[in-house]
Amino acid sequence: MKTRSRRLLILAFIAFAAFCVLRAPISLLTLFLPHEVQLKNVEGSLWNGRASAIGLGELIVQEQVNWQFHPRALLSGRLEWAIAGRFSEKSSALTLALRPGGAELYDLSLYLPLEPFIAQNPRLKAVRIGALLHATAPRVAANVPVSASIDVDGLFSPMVPLASQLGNYRFDLKLDAAGKGAWRATTLAGILAISGDGSLDTKAQQIAGKLVLTPSTTLPGLSPAISQLPRSGNGYLVTF
């Protein structure tokens, strides 16, 4: 009888814990987020809800965020949410799936500002540049190959007041199942051409490579700094 009572008590505790998770407001669950990440004006629950904005280091990275749980995904042995948002009048969307093996992202298409991510790196914080990022990937998960691209639209710098935009660029990334791979940068348009390639290791948080900056015209405020770099053909070389 004692064994049966103990099992019933454990089952009752599990059922109570599950009920608490199911009914918990999302505002309570935000307590577990990293301190750099903030959810503004949160409503609803973990399963269905919305937030007016997501902040990173006090800077907004996404607005009008909402998430909806997909109950039918339970038939495939996973928890799944459709997540949507906006930034700069551009719509973002992705699908988050939780499986026993970990989390996965599907059909990722995110519009994000560059500035908050630059500000998170102490070495880059003083770099005064901004742009609109568009990150896309069919699938992102651990221990599987990943192919993604990041478009950098309308790169600008207050150091070049006469140029509203320096250019548009694309970074293509390919990773193997171990999280190691390569990146490549190409210029889509602009007065400052950027090209280069290199390697990256997501698990070791390491990135290496080179970029060649080739201005097609004099850039007041920026040209003196670029001219201090080593020459590479008609451009200037940045290695890291």
Give me the pLDDT at residue 10, please: 55
Give me the pLDDT at residue 2, please: 52
Give me the pLDDT at residue 164, please: 74
Give me the pLDDT at residue 47, please: 87
> What percent of the chain has a predicted confidence (pLDDT) above 90?
54
Among the ranges given (69-83, 117-131, 159-173), the one the predictor scored with the smallest mean pLDDT:
117-131
Q: What is the mean pLDDT of residues 16-37?
A: 62
Give me the pLDDT at residue 9, please: 52
Q: What is the mean pLDDT of residues 178-185?
A: 96
pLDDT classification of 25: cutoffs 50, 70, 90: low
192: buried, middle or exposed (CB in 10 Å: 19+, 13-18, 0-12)?
buried
Task: Provide the whole-model pTM.
Answer: 0.85
How far apart, in Å, are the Cα atoms of 75 and each of 9, 70, 78, 79, 110? 28, 10, 8, 9, 28
Instruction: Measure the CA angle with vertex 110, ends 62 and 182; round to 5°.
Output: 130
Give me the pLDDT at residue 30, please: 67
Identify the bridge partners of residue 139 per DSSP, sorted by sequence position: 106
Q: Specify the higher pLDDT residue, 63 or 229.
A: 63
pLDDT classification of 184: cutoffs 50, 70, 90: very high
Neighbours of 146 (CB within 10 A): 19
Give me the pLDDT at residue 15, please: 46
Task: Say yes or no to pLDDT of 32 above 70.
Answer: no
